[in-house]
């Protein structure tokens, strides 16, 4: 964790782009339709908890393997006991001392882990979409 001399732990603000919100909603509906509302609820609660955990030391997670123009990182979320995994793609901003922005983690995209890698065109769309 980012600790300063005072022992203060840096807490990052969390922001979800609209695309990521739609990704989560779409996966939730798919789980509810294919399995059950209860499983969908547990999945959504778990992915929200995972995203909340990014408020602390988000740089501990690796860079996404795709060719993004920015430093996009990823965390893989899998509900306990499930084979289904989702990749959460995010960026970290506002860390430099000369930045006027607060340190922030922005969730760009959530996708099934078995999906094909993000194409260059998709990467540009994901990075620029507000």
List pLDDT tens digits, range 24-44. 999 999 999 999 999 999 999
List pLDDT tens digits, range 103-121. 999 999 999 999 999 998 9
Give me the domains of the chain, ranges plus CATH numbers: 13-128 (3.30.2310.20)
Q: What's the pTM? A: 0.88
Beta bridge partners of 87: 76, 111
- The pLDDT value recorded for residue 129 is 72
Question: What token pair was written down for 58?
Answer: 């988000």
Supply the mean pLDDT for the chain: 90
């Amino acid at each position: 964790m980012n600790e300063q001399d005072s022992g203060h732990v840096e807490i990052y603000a969390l922001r979800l782009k609209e695309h990521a919100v739609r990704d989560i909603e779409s996966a939730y509906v798919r789980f509810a339709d294919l399995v059950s509302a209860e499983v969908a609820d547990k999945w959504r609660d778990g992915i929200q908890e995972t995203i909340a955990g990014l408020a602390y030391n988000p740089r501990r997670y690796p860079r996404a393997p795709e060719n993004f123009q920015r430093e996009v990182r990823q965390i893989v979320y899998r509900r306990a006991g499930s084979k289904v995994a989702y990749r959460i793609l995010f960026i970290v901003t506002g860390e430099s001392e000369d930045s006027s922005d607060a340190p922030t983690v922005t969730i760009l995209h959530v996708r099934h882990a078995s999906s094909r890698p993000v194409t260059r065109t998709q990467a540009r769309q994901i990075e620029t979409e507000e």
